[in-house]
Amino acid sequence: MDADMAARGGGHARRASSLRLVWVYPDLLSTYGDRGNLLVLERRARLRGIEVESVLVNADHPVPRQGDIYLMGGGEDLPQTLAARRLRADGGLAAAAQHGAVVFAVCAGYQLLGAEFGGEDGQLLQGLEILDIHSGRGERRGVGEIVADVDPRLGVPRLTGFENHQGVTKLGPGAAPLARVVAGVGNGDGTEGAFAGRVLGTYLHGPALVRNPALADLLLTLAVGQLPPMSDRDEEWTRRLREQRLAAVPAGVG
Amino acid sequence: MGKLPLRARLATTIGGAAGRMSRLAGRGDGSVIGGVIGLRMEPNLLALLAAGRQIVLVTGTNGKTTTTRLIAAGLTAFGLPVASNAFGANMEAGLTAALGRAPDAPLAVLEVDEKYLPAVIKATRPRVVTLLNLSRDQMDRAAEIWLVARKWRQALAAAPDSLVVANADDPLIAWSAAAAPHVVWVAAGQRWREDSWCCPQCGSHLLRDELGWRCAECGFARPPARWVLEGGSVIDSSGRIHGMSLSLPGRANRSNALVALAVSEIFGVDPEQALPRMRQVASVAGRYTRFERHGRQVRLLLAKNPAGWLEAFDVLDPPPVPVLLSVNAREPDGRDTSWLWDVDYRVLRGRPVFVTGERRLDLAVRLEADGVPFQLVEGVDDAVELVQDASLDVIANYTAFQQIRATFGRAE
């Protein structure tokens, strides 16, 4: 991990003794098992002795500003548009990000973090401007297993996941690609996802953290600082699943 | 079949022969191949075979096969043959084969894949279109469900002669059906609500209470239903109450039967006539089938998507009866296993849980996250050997289910 980022871990105003996870709009943005990311963070934190408090915020409620890690999932076009409108009006997520909270968003949620994204009929709609990315609608739908090598500064091994989107995302100078595509589509230009500081987004959809425990630990570390390792026994099933999925996708496909 | 054009007659005959050969060769139940061959010879074959018959189409994410079977059972009250794709072959070839197999049946009850409904409405000009429910399912190959609902709307608006029987409790279904001029609303319930938080019409938040759902923004609301389930009883369209005892288990099947009763009534079959016939249905294309293995009773349940898993959990025998879960991710299942994380497996705590299938590791990680102890096994026989109890419930997704059926016989 970037030494600078690690040093800031746990630095922002975390009041409660427990880790506060905020799942933003599970009613609008939860299409492909997005709950998985919350469950993985909860489990990996608790196994390290960290108390966890999870808050699910539906779109008719204000987004709390005091969370430590914010999660945003995937959604169809209409819910995505509605979520953008509500989140802009609410302002809570942008404020939390500005104050140093960790944000992890997948698929439609990832696009929402940017300046603009493609709406139902392909028209460009305004995003949250939390991450310097611009998304639009691509020519074809990217559907299938995705494998990508993470920016070495983050110290996270190869990503494995599933993508299903028609989005194309271009990064501005304020964001860096999260990874380089080994197999699959990702942002559409050979890169995958984006990050800047403590805000990360990816096209690996749904439960992206399930097969990428090191990415989950990166989010936890950004929020609370260094973590003790987990026992081999607690890691076994995840490790086996990860190995099986990586072995199932030949590099260079897609 | 006498009035069919020569080419259609030939296509049907040859297709039928291919289906029989496929069955004899043990390559399948022969419910698709005949249709594929027939359609290749006469692309218009489905429309030609449908002409002159009274057709019921049944679609939705879950319950298609069972509801189709129950409607067909109800319509046997006429003593006339009923054509049906009873084995769930629900795309154009399967429908064509089903009609080709029963050339003299004046009635047909056909389950239709959600995506194909518009094309099948156009080809078959159905008397009744039955809409059950819509929820997330195999999204790597199926369209997003709002898109499906929108296409249904267009198709129904263009078929004003068809009567629609629709589940008023499912907002997406209600929105689709509202495009049709004639709808019989049925309160078939909605167990899975994660896909209908928002108004299908305007996208705003739906409000829900015991009376149903409504949109505070645009006013779109649950239509009043003429058929209602009240505990174990049915209240029919004229307010009469009938005891609904079925051989099929669970709330989902009572809902399916409620819909089937509403459809039967359109054809003049009264619930008193239809219910005893529906009660005779004990398993549907292998669902709920029981077989014995090394002295243990094994029961098969099919669950293809999150809503289906909830329904399967509802009919599990109570703990400590053990359960075996089997999940694959082949093409017909959807290649993506993300949906496992939409299912709450905590209800399985307190009973032995076995895990198998090609994606058993995905299941293992999922159960671990929910704090459900489990054991990996190779298959049904392994689990049977390990259980102490007299019975074992098996929940499997589509191809995993078919594999088990192929191994342990296609007994109905």
pLDDT, tens digit, for every residue of B336-389? 999 999 999 999 999 999 999 999 999 999 999 999 999 999 999 999 999 987
User: What is the third-level CATH fold of B44-279?
Assistant: UDP-N-acetylmuramoyl-L-alanine:D-glutamate ligase (3.40.1190)
Q: What is the DSSP letter of A153?
A: G
**Sign of the CA dihedral B166, B170, B171, B173?**
negative
Cβ–Cβ below 8 Å for A238 and B339? no
A2, A178 contact by CB (below 8 A): no
Q: Is B58 helix (H, G, I), strand (E, B) or coil?
A: strand
- pLDDT at position B145: 85
- pLDDT at position B193: 85
Q: CB-based contacts of B221: which residues, under 8 Å, 6+ apart?
A: B212, B213, B214, B215
User: What is the third-level CATH fold of B290-408?
Assistant: Protein-Tyrosine Phosphatase; Chain A (3.90.190)
User: For chain A, how many structural domains are there in total?
Assistant: 1
pLDDT band at A234 (very low <50, low <70, confident <90, very high): very high
pLDDT band at B194 (very low <50, low <70, confident <90, very high): confident
Put simply, the chain A residues between 173 and 202 with a CB less than 8 A from any chain B CB are: none
A107 in catalytic set: yes
Strand order across the beta sheet in which B163-167 lies: B82-84, B107-111, B54-59, B128-131, B163-167, B183-187, B227-230, B233-235, B241-243
A205 in catalytic set: yes
Structure tokens belonging to residue B120: 């099948």
Q: Is A128 helix (H, G, I), strand (E, B) or coil?
A: coil
End-to-end distance of chain B based on CA atoms, in angstroms? Answer: 30
- pLDDT at position B34: 77
pLDDT > 80? residue A207? yes
- pLDDT at position B303: 94
Q: Examine domains B44-279 and B290-408 and report if their fold is the same.
A: no
Q: Does A107 touch chain B (CB under 8 A)?
A: no
Residues of chain A found within 8 Å of residue B361, distances taken between Cβ atoms: 237, 240-241, 244
- In this structure, is residue A35 part of a structural domain? yes
Angle at A120 between CA A116 and CA A121, to 5 degrees: 95
HSE (CB half, 13 Å, CA atoms) of B321?
15
CA proximity to A53, closest of A80, A78, A19, A27: A19
CA proximity to A130, closest of A98, A152, A102: A98
- pLDDT at position B86: 82
Q: Does A33 touch chain B (CB under 8 A)?
A: yes
What confidence tens digit (pLDDT) does each residue in B371-382 have? 999 999 999 999
Q: Does A151 touch chain B (CB under 8 A)?
A: no
Question: From the list B136, B146, B362, which residue is nearest A241 (CB)?
Answer: B362
* Structure ipTM: 0.93
pLDDT > 50? residue B131? yes
pLDDT > 80? residue B31? no
CATH label of the domain that carries residue A158 = 3.40.50.880
What confidence tens digit (pLDDT) does each residue in B148-163 have? 999 999 999 999 999 9
- In this structure, is residue A103 part of a structural domain? yes
CA proximity to A236, closest of A7, A24, A47: A47
pLDDT > 70? residue B190? yes
- pLDDT at position A52: 97
Question: From the list A33, A43, A143, which residue is nearest B341 (CB)?
Answer: A33
Distances (CA, A) of A202 to A82, A88, A115, A165: 20, 21, 15, 11
The H-or-E segment that residue A87 falls in is helix A77-90
Least confident range of A2-16, B302-316, B396-410: A2-16
pLDDT > 90? residue A16? no
A72, A103 contact by CB (below 8 A): yes
- In this structure, is residue A254 part of a structural domain? no
Query: Which residue stretches of B31-170 are H helix?
Result: 33-41, 45-50, 64-75, 92-101, 117-124, 145-157
- In this structure, is residue A55 part of a structural domain? yes
Count of beta carbons in the 10 Å neighbourhood of residue A89 = 9
CA proximity to B225, closest of B262, B198, B253, B195: B262
Average pLDDT, chain A: 91
What confidence tens digit (pLDDT) does each residue in B48-61 have? 999 999 999 999 99
- In this structure, is residue A241 part of a structural domain? yes
- In this structure, is residue A19 part of a structural domain? yes
Q: Which domain holds residue A42?
A: 3-248
pTM of the complete model beyond 0.90: no
CA proximity to B63, closest of B308, B371, B393, B388: B308
